[in-house]
Structure 1
């Protein structure tokens, strides 16, 4: 007996079986049936009302865009030129500081400079005397060493004075504190007339575009995302993209920190503001659905996906899905494509029609 007819026969039987199984997983309903069962649909990936799954987030300033103006030495704040919310330019004087320590730095710098000048004069004199054979070479070498040491000390004192914001070459005057970058004053750390210690905060200044959004997302959701995924601020047209996905899990909330960057539209946000962020795109076939959209039968989980709608009726396919995560009244599933219509109400009635038994 030839094997070819047997193989063709087996292939035919398998095809017929698959078609019968596909038909068993489909339901065709008329408008009256849809109404009586109370069936409603929603688009996969969207919650009822048209919103994606949202997560809490806080607006932050990127670290590289923030600077502080601090007291370089201890002293008294004599003038404050700006206040929180003010826009400043790099190099703009924002405060004056009166400081005894600054006077001491100026004095030390002047003394070191004078000593260095004197040693340079001595060096020139000894070089001339050595050329005329009037002094030994050892004396010239000692003078050179002393001049080099005096010069190094003078340079050190000048740099220390410059770091403190002082002006070399004179005594007295106030230290002028300037803005290190163009930006906006976020915080004022001192009051007029207050005595402050070295490194005390005077102002915190930041550039406010772009901004970061630090998002707390469940572990299972974070696992479906990739850097570059789009995010959207709820009830807003402002969008951004993920730039970092945390590796650590918060033990209390079991969430992962996501960081998104917002450029265009950042001016509508405020550092420290708490907002809701919608994750606009999940990886692969994983979509968010209401928990009520799922039905279970014989150990399997499935959703009713609308495949067509015409004069003959509305066709629903009972499609098996895999639950990736669940939180509150929503779930993330694998097996439904973005944009497909899924039944979210009347699911128990559809299940009863499919299985021929009462709903759970």
Structure 2
């Protein structure tokens, strides 16, 4: 009886050990098994992981366009209701201060001119009467009360005239136009002039169109200052800080990044970066498409500067070890989840919502999850808990390895 109990206990223990061993084996990540012959046919090459440095020598090339800052934009509007008769400038034409841009036929202008002329006439008559009464009072021919009445009438007439002038100034008429209406011939022609020197961007109304008072007619931009709006991927934007230097081909001076939009653009899913360039008006034009080279905040090796890939012949001469990572490299980088590495962009693979690189193992390649921190067309900055300096990762033939990996049921 004692023997039977011992036998049962031993059987149960063996069963538990086998189950635990099975769980441990199942938890091991699946290695993509690839033979040397398969590697040669697929031209799979590997290279050691390169730790990233905190230098600022890397660059990203971003496309964008030239825009006008909001503070430099002006809207020309009609002060009075009327019909737009003619335009005197073309879009994107440079205009000077007080340059004639458009003419508006306004019946309201006739009414204002008539009221202004009546007020000016009343003011002149009141001033003449005051001068006469002052002379008569000085000679002792009239009472002081009459002089005071004349003085009061002159002040009221002057105030009425100034009120009409102020109304026309509020309507947007220039002092010259106001004085012309006060003494010249009545005319419904209202001239719209550029308030400042700059560029006429576009017309917001067409000849023959009826305009209400205050309706916008044209949009202008003050001369001198232009900005750049550059499109960046989220990964690129994360590596570019405000103040980062940039260069634009054809422009002598260096510019800088001034800020970024807090949200992605709906269509392109990119981040808009705003930049300024000294004397941009000398080398760029409004709405021009440009390509800028921007300094990033991390060091990404220049194309071709990565370690030399290893081919199948190298593998035959030097058998792979576990991970092919040097002991010194593993000791330096082990236990550092924030350690960063640079890999060729071609080494990145995506499947089933995962982003991985393929780490070389004795019997194939192990997909290791990574997080992309910054990326250019040639080089990518990544970090991953399973990565260590010196590990060899696939840099050529990634598509072939991914295909075999997906065939194992990872997508």
TM-score (norm 2): 0.54
Match of 1:186 in 2: 201
Match of 1:325 in 2: 373
Match of 1:153 in 2: 160
- Cα distance change of structure 1 residues 302 and 206 upon mapping to structure 2, 3 Å threshold: closer
Match of 1:340 in 2: none
Equivalent residue in structure 2 for 1:177, among 192, 217, 220? 192
For residue 184 of structure 1, give the secondary structure of its aligned residue in structure 2. strand
Q: Distance in 2 between matches of 1:211 and 1:196?
A: 31
Equivalent residue in structure 1 for 2:255, among 241, 244, 248? 241
- Cα distance change of structure 1 residues 51 and 146 upon mapping to structure 2, 3 Å threshold: same
- Cα distance change of structure 1 residues 114 and 328 upon mapping to structure 2, 3 Å threshold: same
Q: Distance in 2 between matches of 1:231 and 1:191?
A: 40
What are the equivalent positions in structure 2 for 1:211-250 lying under 5 Å apart? 211-215=226-230, 218=234, 221=237, 225-227=241-243, 229-233=244-248, 236-238=249-251, 240-242=254-256, 244-245=258-259, 249-250=262-263
- Cα distance change of structure 1 residues 152 and 195 upon mapping to structure 2, 3 Å threshold: same
Instruction: Give structure 1 stretches of 5+ with no counterpart.
Output: 1-34, 306-322, 335-344, 351-360
Further displaced range: 85-94 or 106-115: 85-94
- Cα distance change of structure 1 residues 79 and 226 upon mapping to structure 2, 3 Å threshold: closer
Does structure 1 residue 116 correspond to structure 2 residue 128? no
- Cα distance change of structure 1 residues 78 and 129 upon mapping to structure 2, 3 Å threshold: same
Q: How far is 1:188 from its partner? A: 0.9
For residue 127 of structure 1, give the secondary structure of its aligned residue in structure 2. helix
Q: Distance in 2 between matches of 1:87 and 1:68?
A: 15
- Contact 2:58-2:301 within 8 A present in 1 as well: no
Equivalent residue in structure 2 for 1:278, among 289, 293, 310? 293
Q: How many residues align?
A: 278
Q: Distance in 1 between matches of 2:58 and 2:148?
A: 82
Q: How far is 1:216 from its partner? A: 5.9
Match of 1:84 in 2: 91
Q: Distance in 2 between matches of 1:222 and 1:131?
A: 85
Q: Distance in 2 between matches of 1:54 and 1:276?
A: 7
Give me the CA root mean square deviation: 4.6
